[in-house]
Amino acid sequence: MLKAKPTSRVARRLKDATTSRPSRYADLAKRGSRTMGKFLPLLIRFVDGRLMQVSSITEAELALAGQWPNKEADVYREAARLLVAAREGTCTPDIAFIAFEKAARQQRLLKPRKPSSGLRILDSLSESN
């Protein structure tokens, strides 16, 4: 009996991920890189002017390695400690990400974002009621 070949790219990726044949997509899924984060993205502007979008615990840990005004500050050290604890499973990711956001806000690294057009539409609909 002949098996039909998956025709779409997504179907091929799923097939690769479920078979014993390793694929680059399965490897990306294992490492967790380039996947959408759980949290709403934060835009961080480091001291050197570099920008980074942070939306996961892994990205927050990478951002802590960037240039911060004061890496000895209590909020910075607390955020770093909680991010490690979240990775190890002894702290919830939500608490660790909030600590990271607080540290970035206090050190004035958090760049404000304009609301998306979709959010503006939702806001205008909710105000009209």
Mean pLDDT, residues 101-128:
84
The per-residue pLDDT for 60 is: 96
Assessment of whether the complete model's pTM goes beyond 0.75: no
The per-residue pLDDT for 25 is: 38
pLDDT at 121 over 70: yes
Written as one string, the DSSP assignment of 68-105 is -S-TTSHHHHHHHHHHHHHHHTSS-HHHHHHHHHHHHH
The per-residue pLDDT for 17 is: 42
Q: Among residues 124, 54, 43, which one has the least CA distance to residue 96?
A: 54
**pLDDT (tens digit per residue) in 71-99:** 999 999 999 999 999 999 999 999 999 99
**pLDDT (tens digit per residue) in 42-78:** 999 999 999 999 999 999 999 999 999 999 999 999 9
Alpha helices (H) in the chain, listed in sequence order: 9-18, 24-31, 57-64, 74-88, 93-106, 117-128
